Amino acid sequence: MHSNTTRRSSSFRSLALALLALVATVSCGRDATHDGHSHGKESTEPEPVSITKWTEKHELFVEFPPPVAGKTVEYHAHVTALEGFRALTAGRFRVRWKTPSGVAAETQIDGVKRAGIFTPSGPAPSPGSYELEMSVEHDGATDVFDCGPIVIGDAAKAPAEEAPSAAITFLKESQWKIPFGTDWATERSLAKEVELPATVEPAGTDQLVIGSPTGGRFFHNPKLALAEGSRIRKGDVVGSIAPTVAGEDYSRLQLAVDEARISKDQVEREIKRVEPMVKEGLLPEKRLTELRNERDTLSARLSAAKGRIGRVLAPGGTGGLPIRSSIEGIVSQVLVPNGEPVDAGAALVRIGGTSSVWVRTRFVARPAAAFTGAAPAAVRLPSGARIDVGSAGARLLSAAPVIDPTSRIATWVLEVPPQAGERPLQPGMQVVLLLRVGAPRTVLSVPKSAVVEINTRPFVFVQVDGEHFEKRNVTLGDSDGGFVELTSGIAKGERIVTTGGFDVHLGSLMGSVESHRH
């Protein structure tokens, strides 16, 4: 279910992500000189305090050395705008050490050192317990992060919590460079969604079958390229009928006209050749008289042939009875090949209007209980795009699928009302019909994009802190729309990767530095 997207992206992004991870690692190596980053176990400095907090709009991932009373604390704060998961590029960042009586110490900085990173510095307050508060101001709004209690002493102490040793390190610099996103694992109301193969066709109430007004041969309009899927405007000539008259069809009448014209033209050319020879006495005048009589006979024959064919043509017509469409739509079926003989009243072309369509699905019959409470949810296009039809007023034309008793093939038809805009559902398209069945249940669920298939098994990546993640094997339940139920592996309230999980997986395969300090 989720492997198609994963496999498509992995082949094109593996090399790019490998280079990205190398760039991020090299970047952190450069930071060791320029920004105070250090990597590896050789550093003698204590591990920094690391805090990750979220609001509705931002994520804060901040690191700073264990604070010592009276000494300067250098903060390295990564601030991410959750909408689009982008690095914040401007604003004011403020740090406050608060007590019940007020603010004991405060520092701030205007602007970022580089995209997403604020680097304020200021003295730590005197020894004691404080509530640490940080905030970011930009675009006229302020977002406040409650960073919890921190105890300050006369000497540096190691942080109380560290990322699990099995966690995957995926740096912010890498997250900001790719499509990435996180969210809370929450409970939602989900129903089971059933997928059925289907075909889009013109609605039965919006179709026109064009018939032949008389017997004859049906010739397609060569300028229209009559074929299934062709768009027809009201009044377009789709073809013409060469009628059958007194045992002879139109094509024979036309042949008689052409033969008489050709014969007459040949005689006139012969007359022009013979006349000079008769005048010079090289040929008898009788020969010229015979040719002139033959020309008159052929002229009469041509005139008679034209008269016969003229009596079967529509007024002003030149090639048979024109057949016009009385509606605008799309050709759904050409019933008579070009030039085939037809009887009077025979169906020639079926045209479907574009105001509404049917989505017809045919499948092997299932137990009636499998479709209890079925309601249309969506139609998935060949491109993978999902078209919501449930809220657009689409309806199933029968309460249950119609089952052929012999073949046990079930047929179900969904009517989709007139579509706005570019009309994504066009007759002839092969699509997937999604039906929502059963009563909705409140279950723990995540976006389908959060589930990554690795070696045929589903995984979800949980965010431990700003730059550390855990890979969790999960068990999937029912899916509904863009969400899928999780029956095991994830707990409610955990922060999960909704976009970019496969990139985190690739990062884990390539390895990362054991520790870093900003």
Mean pLDDT of the chain: 82
Q: Do 345 and 427 fall into the same domain? A: no
Q: Taking 90 as the threshold, does the pLDDT of residue 219 lie above it?
A: no
Using pLDDT thresholds of 50, 70 and 90, give the confidence band for residue 427: confident
Whether 295 and 331 share a structural domain: yes
On whether both 269 and 337 belong to a single domain, the answer is yes
pLDDT > 70? residue 518: no
Q: Which of 77-81, 229-233, 481-485 has the lowest mean pLDDT?
A: 229-233
- State pLDDT tens for residues 75-91: 999 999 999 999 999 99
At 191, is the pLDDT very low, low, confident or very high (cuts 50, 70, 90)?
A: confident
314, 435: one domain: no
pLDDT in tens, 167-189: 899 999 999 999 999 999 999 98
Q: What is the CATH number of the domain that holds 89?
A: 2.60.40.1930
Greater confidence (382 vs 29) lies with 382
Domain around 142: 48-161
Rounded-to-integer distance, Cα 252 and Cα 275, Å:
35
Give the integer Cα–Cα distance in Å for 380 and 492.
30
- DSSP single-letter state for residue 178: S
Could you give the percent of the chain with pLDDT greater than 90? 41
Of residues 163, 161, 175, 229, the one with CA closest to residue 200: 229
Instruction: Compute the distance between CA of residue 332 and CA of residue 353 in angstroms, rounded to an integer.
Output: 9
The mean per-residue pLDDT over the stretch 330-359 comes to 83
Q: Residue 143 domain-assigned?
A: yes
pLDDT one-digit tens code per residue, 260-315: 889 889 988 988 888 888 888 888 888 888 888 888 888 888 888 777 666 555 44
Asked if residue 378 and residue 341 are part of one domain, the reply reads: no
Domain boundary among 326, 352, 378: 352
DSSP label at residue 370: G
**First and final CA of the chain: distance in angstroms?**
40
- Stretch 483-512: mean pLDDT: 90
175 falls within a domain: no
Total number of domains constituting the chain: 3
Residue 146 lies inside a defined structural domain of this protein: yes
Q: Are residues 131 and 195 in the same domain?
A: no
Q: How many CA atoms lie within 13 A of 44 on its CB side?
A: 0
Q: Is the pLDDT of residue 490 over 50?
A: yes
Tens digits of residue pLDDT in 88-111: 999 999 999 999 999 999 999 999
Nearest of 30, 32, 31 to residue 42 by alpha carbon: 32
Residues 364 and 330 in one domain: no
Question: Higher model confidence: residue 418 or residue 108?
Answer: 108
Residues 108 and 238 occupy one common structural domain:
no
Does the pTM surpass 0.75? The reply is no
Residue-level pLDDT at 99: 94
Query: What does the pLDDT look like over 491-503, one tens digit per residue?
Result: 999 999 999 999 9
Nearest to 353 by CA among 307, 417, 302, 407: 417
174-178-181 Cα angle (round to 5): 95
Mean pLDDT of 341-354: 83
Claim to verify: residue 190 and residue 265 sit in the same structural domain: no
How far is Cα 201 from Cα 81, in angstroms, rounded to an integer?
45
Segment 61-80 shows an average pLDDT of 94
Residue 8 falls inside a structural domain: no
Residue 257's alpha-carbon distances to 260, 293, 300, 301, in angstroms, are 5, 19, 11, 8
The verdict on 271 and 289 lying in the same domain is yes
Between residues 33 and 479, the one the model is more confident about: 479
Domain assignment present for residue 17? The answer is no
Q: Is residue 105 part of a domain?
A: yes
Residues 384 and 338 in one domain: no
Q: Does some domain include residue 293?
A: yes
Tokens of 163: 């990322």
Residues 188 and 322 both lie in one domain: no
Closest C-alpha among 134, 148, 151, 162 to residue 50: 162
CB burial of residue 346 (10 Å; 0-12, 13-18, 19+): middle
Looking at the chain, the whole-number percentage of residues with pLDDT higher than 70 is 81
